[in-house]
Amino acid sequence: MKRLVFLTFAALAACGTPQEQCISRNTRDLRTVDRLIKEAEGNLARGYAYETITVYEDYWTYCAPHRGKKGEPPPPPRMCLDERPVSQQRPKAIDLNEEARKLESLKAKRKQLARQAEAVIAQCKAQYPE
């Protein structure tokens, strides 16, 4: 019982206060642009990008037994081959000049979003004081 109560409080604490939720909800684009800036800076530092591809690996698993005729015992489970998706990263050539232009554009967009976020954060703090 104590574990259930603890897990419930832990889940509620992870949700954040209404003020934090308001700020998070209204600054999602800013966080996305920050992530893209970090990615572009890494690409320029390395000289190449990474792309994520999905490959399928074979693995053996137990198949669901098919139903036998009425009154007969079901057949034993059997092994069958199945596939599962696996994500992999591999290097990808990029145009460094284009990547630099993209980075500058993202930085300009970040400045614009940061100015907008200041007003939104102030509004969230006024609406949900802590």
Mean pLDDT, rounded, for 83-102 = 97
3-state secondary structure of 120: helix
The pLDDT, as a whole number, for residue 13 is 52
The answer to whether residues 73 and 101 belong to one domain is: no
Q: How many domains does the chain have?
A: 2
Residue 23 pLDDT more than 70?
yes
Question: How much is the CA Rg of the chain, to the nearest whole Å?
Answer: 26
Give the Cα separation of 41 and 29 in Å (integer). 18
Residue 24 pLDDT more than 80?
yes
Which residue range(s) make up the domain with 81? 51-92
33-92 tens-digit pLDDT = 999 999 999 999 999 999 999 999 999 998 877 666 777 777 777 899 999 999 999 999
The answer to whether residues 42 and 106 belong to one domain is: yes
